[in-house]
Amino acid sequence: MKKIMVLGAGLVGRAMAIDLCRDYEVTSVDIHADTLLKLAQEHPIRTVTADLAQFETIGPLVSGQDLVIGALPGFMGCKTLEAVISAGVNCVDISFFPEDPFSLDALARARGVTAVTDCGVAPGMSNLIIGHHQRSMQIDSFECLVGGLPQTRTWPFEYKAPFSPLDVIEEYLRPARLVENGRIVTRPALSEPELVNLAPVGTLEAFNTDGLRTLLTTTKIPEMREKTMRYPGHCQLMKILRESGFFSDEPISVQGVMVAPRALTSRLLLPLWQLGEEEHEFTIMRITLEGRAGERRLRHIYHLYDTYDPATRTSSMARTTGYTATAAARLILNGHFVRKGICPPEYIGGEGECFERIMADLAGRRVRYVHEEIVL
């Protein structure tokens, strides 16, 4: 039986380990022993308690594994990926790290490693869809609107996060890169808010975030943008916190003690943003791309609306993010995707039947994308 190690046992890491343990020998690694104990009690998963911020420990840990999945906070992601690649182990990563993943491409090729990065819902499935359609059409424009939200809107934030608050704050700070008229342009995060109406939720607020990532260099699409969606009013509230300094990393003196505002803000937000163990939430996404296939001009629209699964007690964001990554892992382990080097999801979508296999894998787990093709 092939061996997989999942680094990180948060909501998404846990879901991936559970999904994979049916077919593989899975080891879950995390710093929190209590989280691992519960996981091992309920599922046939081996566990290792380790501080993965000590990057020198990663190489020995992953040695002998057939594949590693990275499910760590973004600030740890790139160093962790480098350590896994250096150990010569294939990997799939979902951490939203700020560094350019292609800086590790030469290392991955030299080590003969397949390293799939940004393999979640968006980035992730959005990239896969582009890669798939680029095989048969010239894409002129691409838009991705995506959000994960609680079913019940609770004051003051009307938001819950399946990830670390630090990663969410990073999303609200990192400048958003878009493509306009074939040129990469930069807008502030949280900029250009607009109201959109998406069934079955209703009115949501969409604003610029930096979700295009590798698509900026791997595609030549002249118009591209990605926006995150929240309940209306969230954008303005986050701007107030940001502009007031609550997201700053610059330490300030508070009664003689130096404190980094972002660390304090994250700590205060954690209990307010933390999803309850069985709290109902949803993921909603609309991807629209237009272009030409031969003499026909086409518009492809993909709709996703996915909710918390009470049968498995798995959050929607864990399902939509995690199962995309586990589907990619299966492609590698089964020899369907063998490209070496840094491989963003658009590379997978552009090869053979990989896209169809991932869509079937997701549908088998009741994550369904509704595809609509319109001849313009």
Q: Which helix (H) or strand (E) holds 171?
A: helix 165-173
pLDDT at 166: 83
3-state percent helix, strand, coil for the chain, nearest multiple of 5: 35, 30, 35
pLDDT at 365: 95
* Of 238, 187, 234, nearest in space to 211 by CA: 187
Decide: pTM greater than 0.75.
yes
What pLDDT tens digit does each residue of the chain (376 aa) get?
A: 999 999 999 989 999 999 999 999 999 999 999 999 999 999 999 999 999 999 999 999 999 999 999 999 888 999 999 999 999 999 999 998 989 999 999 999 999 999 999 999 999 999 999 999 999 999 999 999 999 999 999 999 999 987 778 888 989 999 999 999 999 999 999 999 999 999 999 999 999 999 999 999 999 999 999 999 999 999 999 999 999 999 999 999 999 999 999 999 999 998 899 888 889 999 999 999 999 999 999 999 999 999 999 988 899 999 999 999 999 999 999 999 999 999 999 999 999 899 999 999 999 999 999 999 999 9
* Residue whose pair of structure tokens reads 């080590």 in the numeric block: 111
The DSSP code for 249 is -
The DSSP code for 181 is T
pLDDT at 133: 97
Q: Which helix (H) or strand (E) holds 146?
A: strand 138-150
Mention every residue, 6+ apart, whose C-beta is less than 8 A from residue 345: 116, 118, 119, 123, 124, 125, 127, 128, 131, 324, 328
pLDDT at 276: 83
Q: What's the rounded Cα separation, in Å, for the pair 374 and 288?
A: 11
Q: What's the rounded Cα separation, in Å, for the pair 288 and 270?
A: 33
Pick the CATH number of 3-120+318-367 from 3.30.565.10, 3.40.50.720, 3.40.50.150, 3.40.605.10: 3.40.50.720
pLDDT at 224: 98
User: Where exactly are the structural domains of the chain?
Assistant: 3-120+318-367, 125-307
Which fold, 125-307? Dihydrodipicolinate Reductase; domain 2 (3.30.360)
Distance from the first to the final alpha carbon of the chain:
50
Contact between 144 and 158 (Cβ < 8 Å): no
pLDDT at 23: 95
